[in-house]
Structure 1
Amino acid sequence: MIPAPAVPTALRPYVAARIPYDVAFGAPGVHRGLPSTTLTLVLPLDEPLRVSWPDWSDSLHAAWGSLSGLHTAPAAVHHDGAQRGIQLALTVAGARVLLRRPASDLAGALTDVDQAVVPLALRELPERLHDLPSWPARVALVDRTLAALAAASGDLAPRAEVARALALLTSGAAVAGVAAEVGYSRRRLSTLVRAECGLTPKEFQRVARLETTRQVLGRRPLAEVAAVCGYSDQAHLTREWSALAGCTPTTWLRDEFPFVQDRRDDQDAGSEHD
């Protein structure tokens, strides 16, 4: 991965990660884009990013600016042996502030930024990146573009109680407890959460738990990972990974580890700039 400064403080409510990448896989192939609690915006440099849903052959999508909403199945990211670009993880609040639309509008979708109903500055960003000669200049352009969008957004953040509910679900709180905490019935909570992000509270919670396990897989035994991340046991963890990621945790580590490790190292390095 490319060393880069941490996401600017003003953007952190909207951008969970901003990762410049230059990855050599050694041979053409496909890697998995796992479900997460953030929307993914990828700005490739060498060729359009090709993404599809594995079990839907007609879903193959190629774009210079690829935007995917929240989803509960893995995406298939196709490559020719190497990839370069900048990947952004946009929060649910970031969807409203930076994309000017709720995350639910993009749930389960693979969208070309150039064709999506998003601000002009985002649609123009891929072409502007191609004109720049260095990684620092590219990262700076992305940061400036997003900062300008955030500054001009006004009051577009999700309603406070929905944002609170999503934060509690991400932390692993039970759905019934979250509903009580924010003062809604479970049915009302489900309606509001789905309207905001496109997933039900339970789906969002499952994806958040999967996301949490990605940070510790390969560093601790699977039984410990299961216990720490809120699964009833290792078998439960494996079932959830098979359902949401399309593979077991062990398979994912074997297939994706070089890419995963590079991303970890890059994020760890970035945090040193905080």
Structure 2
Amino acid sequence: MPAHRRSAALAPFVAALSSYDLGPGGVHRGLPSTTISITIPEADSLEIGWLGRQGSAQRFQAVVAGLHLDPAELTQRGGTRGVWLTLSPPAAAMLLGVPASALSGQLAELADVAPAMADLPERLAGCRSWPRRRALVEEALLAGLDRHESDTGGRELPATLAALSGTARVQEAARLLGCSRRHLSGTVRCALGVTPKEYQRLLRFEAVRGQLVAAARDGTAGLADVAAAAGFADQAHLTREWRAMAGCTPAEWLRTEGLTGPTA
């Protein structure tokens, strides 16, 4: 299948697909988000664990991370490059064959989650160009879509997530969907493994992350402006929430990303 047709078929499910290089030290902080991530190193295995949890680090040939509200730390020695992709929650069922709820708060080997993709790391290691690596990943995902296309749960979930994204109030989202708050909560827990409020918390954190990066690059906004735009009571409220979910302050995170500001 031509590249543009592969990408178009996967567009509803794949949020990002790119190569990565962790750079000197080979360490990366994995932040909470509304997506499921898959990280496949080019050469060496990965060591990844939850920050602040002793003994949580594990080694993976390729790791799948479900929705999580805590930061993780990824270490890759030897080689620091690989392939990274993020999937929307419905994609877990549609492409991998498991509901997003089965992955919530978990770090798992790709081969255990999707056995049909067990040889993908080895096949990627044999590629010498990014276009071919991208094509291999897309082909593996499309094969998963063909295997699991009868799964209707993944197809119905986007409307629920869109309602939660459109309002900060769970009760309002339930009204938009024409159901009770209790029914919505049960649906979201069953599908995602998190509560509606936790999903909205992830949405807000993700939005703030984008705003922080944009503000740092153009220098037009400070932390107080970002906090106000995201609906936080004040800058201190934003900093507390960021520290709880990222394990550091916004300024500290920006420095690790090679960015500076906003700081005030």
Length-normalised TM-score, structure 2: 0.87
**1:10-53: CA deviation from partner (whole Å, max 9, x where unpaired):** 112111111211242x3x36431001111110011121111001
Greater mean deviation of Cα atoms: 247-256 or 214-223: 214-223
* 1:66 maps to which of 48, 63, 66: 63
Aligned residues: 251
Structure 2 unaligned spans of 5+: 216-220, 260-264
Q: For 1:15-26, what aligned pairs fall within 5 Å after superposition?
A: 15-24=14-23, 26=24
User: Does 1:104 find its partner at 2:105?
Assistant: no
Quote the offset at 1:232 in angstroms: 2.7
Q: Which residue of 1 aligns with 2:114?
A: 118
Is contact 2:49–2:58 with CA below 8 Å preserved after alignment?
A: yes
Quote the offset at 1:162 in angstroms: 4.0
Q: For 1:119-198, what aligned pairs fall within 5 Å after superposition?
A: 119-120=115-116, 122-158=117-153, 162-198=157-193
User: Does 1:206 find its partner at 2:207?
Assistant: no
Q: Which residue of 1 aligns with 2:228?
A: 227
Q: Within 2, Cα distance between the matches of 1:23 and 1:211?
A: 21
Where relative contact order (Cα < 8 A, 6+ residues apart) is larger, the structure is 1
User: Does 1:46 find its partner at 2:43?
Assistant: yes
Quote the offset at 1:62 in angstroms: 1.2
- Fraction of identical pairs, as percent: 43
Q: Which residue of 2 aligns with 1:215?
A: 210
Quote the offset at 1:131 in angstroms: 1.3
Length-normalised TM-score, structure 1: 0.84
Distance 1:139 1:177, change over 3 A: same
Q: CA RMSD in A?
A: 2.3
Q: Which residue of 2 aligns with 1:243?
A: 244
Is contact 1:36–1:211 with CA below 8 Å preserved after alignment?
A: yes
Quote the offset at 1:147 in angstroms: 1.9
Q: Within 2, Cα distance between the matches of 1:151 and 1:232?
A: 46
Q: Secondary structure at the match of 1:58?
A: coil
Structure 1 unaligned spans of 5+: 259-274
Distance 1:102 1:123, change over 3 A: same
